Every structure is written in C-alpha cells, then in structure tokens.
C-alpha cells in the first residue's frame, strides 16, 4: 500500500532527515586513512542516540548495526568491521536509516579516503549527478520509469558505467521499506504515476564496470552483502524526498546551498 503523507508527517520526516544529514556531515571529518569501518559505526550510532532517535537498521531482518559500510568493490549491505582499516585511495559508502518518533529517513553517501584516483572521483561524480537527475524527474504526473530512465541513460549511455539493477529505491514511512519500488533503470512514461505526498528514496548504485553484482557472506555470520561482479569500484548516493506541487523536496539534505531548489 502506498501512503500519502500529511504536512505534519512530512515535517517530522524532515526532522528525522536532519539528524541523518548531521551524521553524514560529521563523517566528513571522521573518515580518513587508518580508521576502521567500525569507527564509522560507533560515530553514527552515538550521534543518532544523542539526538534522541533510533538507528532503524538495527534488528531489521537480523541486521545488527546502525550502518552499512561498503568499501571499494562492495556495492551495498556490507557490515562495519573492526578489522577493516581504511586506506588512502579507498572509497566508502555509508548507508543508514533514522527513526525519530516513528518517522523515517534513509540516506547513503560515498566518501573519499585521503587522495583517490581520478577514476574513482569520476565514478563518485557520475553517481551523485545520477541521483539528482533522478530527483528532477520526481514530479507530480511523471512515472516511476521516468526516474529510472534518467539515471540509466546518464550512467550507461553517457558514461559507460554499470547501473546496478537488483537493488532499488523504495517508498518510506511509516516503515523503512514500502511501496512503490523505485528502480534506477526503466522506460520513460512507464510505471506508477507519481502523486503529491508520496515519500520515496532514490539511491543509485553505480559500478565502474559491469552493472552485475555478486553476493558474499560475512565470515562467521549468515548475513549476505553485495560486491560488483567484476571487482570494480562501486559508489552510491541516496536521498529521501517528498513529491509536492512545488516539485521534489529533499528531506535528507546536507547542503542548503547546493540543494536550495529542493528545499
């Protein structure tokens, strides 16, 4: 079932999103060569708790952590690890969901660790722009396929990178994952029509090589995560947004200047 949110619900989701954005802003100073991916988990968990919110991923389908921390060729759902030290030249994507008094926000961001290659920087730039091209299509009367087509065309046709198919965006609130599904590929004019009050995530994952992914299992655990099938680096950017009569409005913005038109 798709729920259309009231002004009050949207405002509470915006407050939740502000907490999540605060974590990402703090991580800009935390992430550097030599820290472990567990240090990212500790910071995020503490920040969320200090702001009287809950890390919603904890306990979801058996997951144990506040964050997913995916490094280099890891595409999504990788766990934070005490023995995984970040190195100069790595890229790391940090994904989390914040629950503030029952109101959800979901956002992922990719960070450079120290000095990275031009190739990895280009991957990050393309992925971030793909997110915003998708957001631009999230207007009343458009269809889900318009979002996916804008992302896929830019990633694959213009930049010859891999637009991951298996992992997609989704509706959000009052639970973490709701209808509608929001693929990052598609045909313009196809799929569900977008309506005012819908809250969704758009979260493209882009591989430098193939769009295909493979699953791996955390050693000593049953948890599965995903890597690029060909071992190439992967990046992800994600926002939670609401569709309004004034266009898409980002609820997890980190930058009021860059995102001015979406606030």
- Split at pLDDT 50, 70, 90, the class of 184 is very high
SS3 165: coil
**Rounded CA separation 177/151 (Å):** 21
Average pLDDT over residues 162-188: 97
Mean pLDDT of 41-68: 96
- Reply yes or no: is the peptide bond before residue 180 cis, omega within 30 of 0: yes
Q: What percent of the chain has pLDDT over 70?
A: 100
Rounded distance, CA 56 to CA 91, Å?
24
- Mean pLDDT of all residues belonging to the chain: 97
The pLDDT of residue 240 is 98
Q: For residues 130 and 156, what is the distance between their CA atoms, to the nearest angstrom?
A: 10
Listed residue (124, 175, 179, 163) closest to 2, CA to CA = 179
State the pLDDT at residue 54: 98
CA distance 173 to 159: 33
Q: Is 203 annotated as a binding residue?
A: yes
Consult the annotation and say whether 177 binds a ligand.
Answer: yes
Q: How far apart are CA 54 and CA 198, in angstroms?
A: 23
Closest CA to 69 of 35, 22, 105, 114: 35
pLDDT-based confidence at 123, cuts 50/70/90?
very high
Closest to 224 (Cα-Cα) out of 63, 72, 55, 40 = 63
Share above pLDDT 90 across residues of the chain, in percent, rounded to a whole number: 97
Does 239 belong to an annotated binding site? no
Higher pLDDT, 97 or 174: 97
Instruction: State the average pLDDT over residues 49-77.
Output: 96
Residue 205 has a pLDDT of 98
Please indicate if the annotation marks 106 as binding a ligand.
yes
Tell me if 206 sits within 8 A of 155, measured CB to CB.
yes
Residue 32 CB neighbour total at 10 angstroms? 14
Which pLDDT belongs to residue 218? 87
**Is 160 labelled as part of a ligand binding site?**
no
Residue 238 counted as an annotated binding residue: yes
Has residue 220 got a pLDDT over 90? no
Question: What's the rounded mean pLDDT across residues 216-226?
Answer: 90
Residue pair 68/77 in contact by the 8 Å Cβ criterion: yes
**Domains in the chain and their CATH numbers?**
7-250 (3.90.230.10)
Per-residue pLDDT, 1: 85
Is the pLDDT score of 199 beyond 90?
A: yes
Q: 213-217 and 169-171 as β-strands: parallel, antiparallel, unpaired?
A: unpaired
| CA 215 vs CA 74, 83, 114, 224, 241: distances in Å | 10, 20, 28, 6, 29
Q: Count of residues for the chain?
A: 263
Which stretches of the chain are DSSP H helices?
A: 7-30, 37-50, 118-136, 144-152
Confidence (pLDDT) at 134: 98
Q: Does 122 count as an annotated binding residue?
A: no
User: How do strand 91-100 and strand 103-112 relate by DSSP bridges?
Assistant: antiparallel
Res. 239: pLDDT tops 90: yes
**Is 221 a residue whose pLDDT tops 90?**
no
């Amino acid at each position: 079932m798709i729920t259309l949110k009231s002004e009050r619900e949207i405002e509470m989701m915006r407050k939740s999103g502000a907490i999540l954005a605060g974590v990402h802003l703090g991580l800009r100073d935390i992430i550097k060569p030599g820290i472990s991916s567990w240090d990212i988990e500790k910071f995020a968990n503490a920040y969320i708790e200090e702001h009287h919110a809950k890390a919603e991923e904890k306990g979801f389908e058996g997951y144990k952590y506040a964050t997913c921390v995916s490094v280099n060729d890891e595409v999504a759902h990788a766990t934070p690890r005490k023995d995984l030290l970040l190195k100069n030249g790595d890229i790391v994507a940090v994904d989390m969901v914040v629950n503030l008094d029952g109101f959800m926000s979901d956002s992922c961001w990719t960070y450079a660790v120290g000095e990275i290659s031009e190739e990895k920087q280009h991957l990050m730039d393309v992925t971030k722009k793909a997110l915003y091209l998708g957001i631009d299509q999230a207007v009343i009367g458009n269809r889900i396929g318009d979002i996916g087509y804008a992302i896929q065309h830019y990633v694959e046709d213009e930049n010859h990178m891999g637009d991951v198919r298996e992992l997609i965006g989704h509706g959000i609130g009052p639970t973490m994952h709701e209808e509608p599904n929001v693929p990052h590929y598609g045909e313009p004019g196809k799929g569900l029509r977008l309506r005012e009050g819908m809250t969704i995530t758009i979260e493209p994952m882009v591989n430098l090589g193939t769009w295909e992914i493979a699953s791996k299992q955390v050693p000593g655990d049953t948890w599965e995560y995903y890597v690029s099938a060909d071992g190439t680096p992967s990046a992800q950017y994600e926002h939670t947004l609401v569709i309004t009569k004034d266009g898409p409005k980002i609820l997890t913005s980190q930058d009021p200047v860059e995102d001015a038109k979406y606030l």
